[in-house]
Amino acid sequence: MAKRLNAIFNVIDAISEKTSKIVSLLIFVVMVITTVEVVGRYVFNHPTSWAWPINRQLFGVFILFAGIYAMSKEDHIKVEILYDHFSPKMKKNRKVDCHGNLSLFHGRVGLARIQNGLEFTDCQREAYWSVPHSSLSP
């Protein structure tokens, strides 16, 4: 059982490391979007309506994957006063609990994003079809 559990942890750690390194590049996308917003707002007096929501979502994804990466490298903040006194079996159980809870949290966040995306698509579709489209309109 322990070998199987370690194999699962190794796969999870490998996946989290690769995806976290890719997602870490999002911070540069956030910087570019922020620069575009600042230049548009203060130089051209033409702010964007999309920069803040996009930055907020990208930074949220960035933080989620940063937490996964830190947890896989065991660099996350933990209450060492308690954790150091745990037996190796108890430490492994806590690790399983953390991975399980993190997976449930990410699944719920992903589901919420899908639901929000579908609602947005429905709103866009309604808005498109509710306005009369004619090539003869001025």
CB 20 within 8 A of CB 69: yes
**pLDDT per residue as tens, the chain (138 positions):** 778 888 888 888 888 888 888 888 888 999 999 999 999 999 998 888 888 888 888 888 888 888 778 877 777 666 677 777 888 898 888 888 888 888 888 888 888 888 887 777 776 666 666 655 555 555
Which pLDDT score, from 0 to 100, does residue 137 have?
A: 52
| Segments of the chain assigned E as strands | none
φ, ψ of residue 25 in degrees (nearest 5): -75, -10
27, 116, 52, 17: CA torsion to nearest 10: -10
Q: What is the CA radius of gyration of the chain?
A: 22
pLDDT score of 28? 92
In this predicted structure, what is the pLDDT of residue 38? Answer: 93
